[in-house]
Amino acid sequence: MAGKDPRQMKTAEVAKMARKKGVQDIEHMNKSQMIEAMSQQSGGRQQARSGGSTQRASRK
């Protein structure tokens, strides 16, 4: 995510960026979820969305 820091952008701007990056179901995400989805995609990981929330598994 080159350029502006998405955390400093408005939600609508982040949504536009997410659409350009191919993130799906953004209408069901908040800004932080969109940012997370973009970082996962740019990291090369496949993203499967089966709902509107993102949950992280804790590793212990």
Cβ-proximal residues to 23 (8 Å cutoff; 6+ apart), any chain: 29, 34, 37, 38, 41, 47
Pair 6, 14: CB distance under 8 Å: yes
What is the structure's pLDDT at 48?
Answer: 43
- Over residues 37-52, mean pLDDT: 64
- Over residues 12-19, mean pLDDT: 97
CA distance 6 to 29: 14
> Is 57's pLDDT higher than 80?
no
The reported pTM is: 0.64
Token pair 């701007």 is at which residue? 13
Q: How far is CA 32 from the centre of its chain?
A: 7
Identity of the highest mean pLDDT range in 3-7, 13-17, 43-47: 13-17
